[in-house]
Amino acid sequence: MKPRHKRFVFIGLGLLALGVATVLVLNAFQKNLVFFFTPTMVANGEAPQGQSFRIGGMVEDGSLVRDGDGLTVHFVVTDTAKSVPVTYKGILPDLFKEGKGAVAQGKLGADGTFVASEVLAKHDENYMPPEAAEALAKAKASGAQESKSLVVPANKKDSL
């Protein structure tokens, strides 16, 4: 082997080792790298207890209730398997809608209600004109397929 071949082999092996190390590290920190926990993870006790965390999922259809003060809202975040009721006082982002994704930061109360201090809207990766969206909604009503990758973990991707 010529010296330069040796150097390339060395670089290749170095990158390979680095890649393996990265995979191992990322796997070890898997839990710290998620931006939010799904209601199922919360139900399984995977979310941190007694401290602030984020919960994410779909805002359940028909669950959004606004209090008399016009600021406090109640809604239910679901991943279709489990759901968690959320209370939030503040201004919701424009894209916050029932049936769409949302991420809320706050604490889980003793009664199982999540008291949020911040609510973010999570939109999906589909872009289309409103007419196309209407057509899709009609097609969906008649049982056709649609994108399924909004907020739900890989094994539960049948929510949208």
Partner 1 sequence: MSTGINWAKYSSPQALYPLAGRLIPWFSVVAVALMGVGLYMGFFVAPTDFQQGESYRIIFVHVPAAWMSMFLYVVMAIWAGIGLGLNARPSFMMAQAIAPTGAMFTFLALLTGAMWGKPTWGAWWVWDARLTSELILLFQYAGVMLLRTSIDDVRRADRSSAVFALVGVVNVPIIYFSVQWWNTLHQGASVSMSTGSKMAATMLIAMLLMTLAFWMYSIAIILSRVRCIMAERESLPAWEEKPVTIQKIAEAR
- Number of residues near partner 1 (by CB under 8 A): 46
- From the list 40, 56, 76, 116, which residue makes contact with partner 1 (rule: CB under 8 A)? 56
Between residue 4 and residue 43, which ones bind partner 1 under the rule CB under 8 A? Answer: 4, 7-8, 11, 14-15, 18-19, 22, 26, 30, 33-38
Chain positions 70 to 109 lying near partner 1, rule: CB under 8 A, are 92-97, 100, 103
Interface segment toward partner 1; rule CB under 8 A; list 43-51, 81-89, 106-114, 122-130: 122-130
* Contact region with partner 1 (CB under 8 A), list: 44-52, 61-69, 70-78, 116-124: 116-124
In angstroms, the Cα distances linking 85 to 42, 110, 151 are 12, 12, 17
117 binds partner 1 (CB under 8 A): no
How many angstroms separate the CA atoms of 82 and 94, rounded? 25
Is residue 77 within 8 Å of residue 102, measured between CB atoms? Answer: yes
Find where tokens 């209600």 sit: 113
What tokens does 136 get?
């899709």
Exactly one of 43, 64, 81, 121 binds partner 1 (CB under 8 A); that residue is 121
CB of 95 to partner 1, least distance (A): 5
Cβ(147)–Cβ(160) under 8 Å? yes
Tell me, rounded to whole angstroms, the distance of Cα 71 from its chain centroid: 24
